[in-house]
Amino acid sequence: MTDHPAAFLWGPRKVGKSTLLRQQFPDAVFYDLLDTDLRLRLQIRPAFLREEVLAKSPTLVVLDEIQKVPALLDEVHLLIERTSTRFVLCGSSARKLRRGAANLLGGRAWRFELFPLTTAEIGVPVDAARALDVLHRVLSHGTIPAHFLAERPERALRGYVRDYLTEEIQSEALVRNVPAFARFLDGVAATHGRLLNYSNVARDSGVSAKTVREYYQLLEDTLLGHRLAPWRKTRARRLIETEKFYLFDVGVTRALCGMRPVVPGTDEYGRAFEHFLVEEVRAWLSYSESDLPISFWRTSTGLEVDLIIGDLDLAVEFKARAGVDGRDARGLRALREEHRVRRAVIVSLDSARRQLDGGIEVWPWQLFCRALWDGKLM
């Protein structure tokens, strides 16, 4: 990260950005812009940063929560041109920077993103029974570090959502109607991982469909969620071209849904299982610095493949149960009838790897995750 004059590190609140940077760069000069006194001083006169860096000539400077004082980016730009000091710019939202036409350093800064904990960091047993215990914790707690490690995460998860509304939304004045936005979040939680229907969410939120689209964009800008685009290349079948939307953490989704228990065998459990593994793949793609896109495939008749990575390099179905069979492979088979799929996989709760007729692979979820991080799937 420090082999370049500057780097942006983005990530949702509490995923560990500040902790990681302090561990990796203990000798860096830190400016924590959550410190009210420091923030006010630099807001009033951003040139203080330049003057202090010129006086101390530090090797590395970290500006934490850079979105709080966008004007500092002009000072960073000037210092990059005039000094050998390098900068890491850390934040949980680029929205204010982009909307305020802030100086994003014109290609001089690399971009990195930090996600919640992954299975590679958690450490998941290969044994299916022990892996299920870890899976239940992940689906119940989410993978934000403090939440995953908590014995009772309910209070922390509720607090996270509350803090987001008060700190990110109200303090930054990102929306005018906070109660409507809170109702919108309820709608997002109820429909996460499903096809987006702006009109339905707008009706439930009491705002226009245009406003709902802006709210979804706000979630993306603050790194709390992302759209999943449909695969649009087809030869014969009529495809669904509506996007899906996922929040960034399965635990936050659970909090917005009222902290209902995660019960195996239910529809909610299956959706949480899919959600968790979609986020796992996103983290792997980012950390491996891969530019491969992800999408899903669904026909108007209901045939579906949950995740496509790249140009059909890998097509994946997620099934939160053991004993999957040929009936669970209908979507993958239909996709392969039209396109050349390099590898087709069903990720499930099975205890061992298998191969169905036609070469469709069945992977226990924990082995799939291990192979993903070991670079053995793509």
Cα distance between residue 204 and residue 185, in whole Å: 10
In this structure, is residue 190 part of a structural domain?
yes
**Do 127 and 98 fall within a single domain?**
no
Letter for the amino acid at 102? A
Letter for the amino acid at 48? F
**Do 69 and 168 fall within a single domain?**
no
Residue 138: which of 272, 283, 306, 281 has the closest Cα?
272
Residue 217: which of 98, 101, 65 has the closest Cα?
98
Cα distance between residue 304 and residue 282, in whole Å: 20
Q: Is 367 helix (H, G, I), strand (E, B) or coil?
A: helix
**Residue 100: how many other CB atoms lie within 10 Å:** 11
pLDDT in tens, 254-301: 999 888 889 999 999 999 999 999 999 999 999 999 989 999 999 888
Enter the DSSP assignment of 28. Answer: S
**Do 143 and 100 fall within a single domain?**
no
In this structure, is residue 135 part of a structural domain?
yes
**Do 276 and 368 fall within a single domain?**
yes
In this structure, is residue 256 part of a structural domain?
yes
Looking up residue 24, the CATH number of its domain turns out to be 3.40.50.300
Confidence class for position 162, pLDDT limits 50, 70, 90: confident
Q: How far is CA 158 from CA 91, 149, 359, in A?
A: 22, 16, 44
Contacts of 353 (CB under 8 A, 6+ apart): 361, 362, 363, 364, 367
**Do 232 and 319 fall within a single domain?**
yes
In this structure, is residue 1 part of a structural domain?
no
Confidence class for position 302, pLDDT limits 50, 70, 90: confident
> Which of the two residues, 186 and 367, has the higher pLDDT score?
367
Cα distance between residue 350 and residue 362, in whole Å: 8
In this structure, is residue 378 part of a structural domain?
no
pLDDT value, residue 233: 73
Contacts of 33 (CB under 8 A, 6+ apart): 39, 42, 63, 64, 65, 66, 68, 69
- Whether residue 99 is predicted with pLDDT greater than 80 in this model: the reply is no
**Do 231 and 257 fall within a single domain?**
yes
Between 17-21, 230-234, 309-313, the lowest mean confidence (pLDDT) is in 230-234
pLDDT value, residue 69: 92
Q: Exposure of 378 by Cβ count < 10 A (0-12 exposed, 13-18 middle, 19+ buried)?
A: middle
- Whether residue 101 is predicted with pLDDT greater than 50 in this model: the reply is no
Whether 253 contacts 192, CB under 8 Å: yes
**Do 249 and 137 fall within a single domain?**
yes
pLDDT value, residue 251: 95
pLDDT in tens, 201-244: 999 889 999 999 988 988 888 888 999 999 877 656 666 678 99
Average pLDDT over residues 331-360: 94
**Do 242 and 351 fall within a single domain?**
yes
pLDDT value, residue 2: 54
Contacts of 233 (CB under 8 A, 6+ apart): 339
**Do 248 and 300 fall within a single domain?**
yes
Look at residues 91, 113, 135 and tell me which one is the last residue of a structural domain: 113
pLDDT value, residue 100: 47
pTM, two decimals, is: 0.92
In this structure, is residue 39 part of a structural domain?
yes
Whether 230 contacts 298, CB under 8 Å: yes
Whether 138 contacts 122, CB under 8 Å: yes
pLDDT value, residue 4: 79
In this structure, is residue 84 part of a structural domain?
yes
pLDDT value, residue 173: 60
Q: How far is CA 144 from CA 155, 228, 252, 273, 343, in A?
A: 14, 21, 9, 16, 31
Look at residues 88, 113, 138 and tell me which one is the last residue of a structural domain: 113
Kindly write down the DSSP assignment for every residue of 76-122, as one continuous string.
HHHHHHH-S-EEEEEES--HHHHHTT---GGG-EEEEE--S--HHHH
Cα distance between residue 99 and residue 97, in whole Å: 6
298-328 CB burial, b ≥16 within 10 A, e <16: bbeeebbbbbbbbebebbbbbbbeeebeeeb
Cα distance between residue 354 and residue 360, in whole Å: 9
Cα distance between residue 365 and residue 372, in whole Å: 10
- Whether residue 96 is predicted with pLDDT greater than 80 in this model: the reply is no
What proportion of the chain, given as a percentage, has pLDDT over 90? 66
Contacts of 301 (CB under 8 A, 6+ apart): 237, 238
Cα distance between residue 325 and residue 225, in whole Å: 32
Q: What angle do CA 121, 296, 283 make, to 5 degrees?
A: 20
**Do 43 and 165 fall within a single domain?**
no
Look at residues 77, 97, 113 and tell me which one is the last residue of a structural domain: 113
216-234 CB burial, b ≥16 within 10 A, e <16: bebbebbbbbbebebbeee
**Do 271 and 130 fall within a single domain?**
yes
In this structure, is residue 342 part of a structural domain?
yes
Between 90-104, 170-184, 201-215, 293-307, the lowest mean confidence (pLDDT) is in 90-104
**Do 143 and 255 fall within a single domain?**
yes
Confidence class for position 172, pLDDT limits 50, 70, 90: low
pLDDT value, residue 265: 93
pLDDT value, residue 269: 95
pLDDT value, residue 234: 64
Look at the chain and report how many structural domains it folds into.
Answer: 2
Average pLDDT over residues 313-329: 96
Residue 26: domain span = 6-113
